[in-house]
Amino acid sequence: MTLALPPKPRHFIDLWRFDAPTLRAILDDAQTRKAARMGWPKGAPDSDAPAKDRTLAMIFEKNSTRTRFSFDAAIRQLGGHSIIATASDMQLGRGETVEDTARVLSRMVDAVMIRSNAHQTLERFAQAATVPVINGLSDASHPCQIIADLQTFEEHRGSVAGKTLAWVGDGNNMCASFMHVAGQLGFRLRVACPSAYAPDRVDVARGLELGAQIEITDDPRAAVEGADAVLADTWVSMGDTDHDARLAALEPYQVDAKLMSLAARDAVFLHCLPAHRGEEVTDEVMDGPQSLIWDEAENRIHAQKAILAWCFGHG
């Protein structure tokens, strides 16, 4: 007798695992859903409510404003509900294993979003879970944010294919996720960072294997020259302990009006937030006409709705 295996859950852990059509479908769904509900109250469900009666659990090992509120808004707009917990309040914080927690929550909710310190926690959780697991940021990557960023770019500048994006600063989790998706979506990625804070070679290799055009330099001016978008993030991510060394090494990588002037005339500025104004970016750029940061923050809701819908089997 052969037993039917339960269907494998659709996890959303890292962008390098996704092919171009799936990524394109998620980006298009995010924009379609955004357009369809323009002017509606933020709590009103989408007309198709694809997550009706579904519950999303969210576990946070680190602080969050955007990810927490946007996922909560997103699941409600899809017709579902959320339960939010900080890991330190859970038995996880007293030593219950990641795997046992995943098995228990899989019996109680329909999907789990985790913001973890170590990427391995996410991987272990996903391995043991029987419901979809979503990466809400780890030390290694931040894929949901990159979907929102690319949605934002395309909303203002059209398809990202063939465009040049310039990452300036720390070669961190955000930078890794941009490298993980550049090949499938066909944009060039220039990364400017000091050698001490260069991206992980494994992430560069993953991008290159998927056909990405990635150039790495220590010269921010060379990276930004003629670029269609300039991308920045904090110099000190959650969990980083070498604060002073980072500020010293990254100081030449501040995005200011002079650096922006080297980019294409219609170049846009993106930052996942929270920003440290006066460090990685000046107020003039943050609040200037090329900055799309508020659209980018809002798009976390729309992008995550498309991700959740995909996890629940749509598309």
Partner interacting with residue 172 (select from ligand NVA, ligand CP, none; CB below 5-8 Å by kind):
ligand NVA
Q: Candidates 36, 42, 44, 65: give the one binding ligand CP (CB under 6 A).
A: 65
Residue nearest to ligand CP (CB): 67
Active-site annotation holds for 213: no
84 binds ligand CP (CB under 6 A): no
In which residue are the tokens 């979503």 written? Answer: 134
- The partner residues of 188 in beta bridges, in order of sequence, read 164, 213
272 binds ligand CP (CB under 6 A): yes
Shortest separation between residue 174's beta carbon and ligand NVA, angstroms: 5
Partner interacting with residue 91 (select from ligand NVA, ligand CP, none; CB below 5-8 Å by kind):
none
Is 108 within 8 Å of 57 (Cβ atoms)? yes
Shortest separation between residue 36's beta carbon and ligand NVA, angstroms: 28
CA distances (Å), origin 139, targets 157, 177, 214, 226, 258: 30, 11, 21, 31, 31
* Site stretch for ligand NVA (CB under 6 A), options 38-46, 101-109, 215-223, 234-242: 234-242
Active-site annotation holds for 272: yes
Count Cβ atoms within 10 A of the Cβ of residue 249 and give its class: 0-12 exposed, 13-18 middle, 19 or more buried. middle
272 binds ligand NVA (CB under 6 A): yes
CA distances (Å), origin 152, targets 25, 36, 50, 233, 303: 15, 16, 23, 16, 10
Partner interacting with residue 233 (select from ligand NVA, ligand CP, none; CB below 5-8 Å by kind):
ligand NVA
Nearest to 196 by CA among 239, 253, 258, 138: 253
* Site stretch for ligand CP (CB under 6 A), options 60-68, 158-166, 182-190, 305-313: 60-68
Shortest separation between residue 138's beta carbon and ligand CP, angstroms: 11
Q: Which is nearer to ligand CP, 138 or 184 (CB)?
A: 138
Retrieve residue 44's tokens: 């009103």
Sketch the per residue contact string, 236 through 265, with ligand NVA: x for CB under 6 A, - otherwise.
Answer: -xx---------------------------
Q: Candidates 141, 177, 184, 234: give the one binding ligand NVA (CB under 6 A).
A: 234
Is 175 within 8 Å of 167 (Cβ atoms)? yes
**Strand-by-strand arrangement of the 268-271 sheet:** 213-217, 188-192, 164-168, 229-232, 268-271
Tell me the residue type at 129: A
In the set 142, 180, 190, 302, the catalytic residue is 142
3-state helix, strand, coil in the chain (%, to 5): 45, 15, 40
Residues lying near ligand CP in the complex (CB under 6 A) are found at 64-67, 137, 145, 272-274
Q: Active-site residue numbers? A: 115, 142, 145, 233, 272, 300
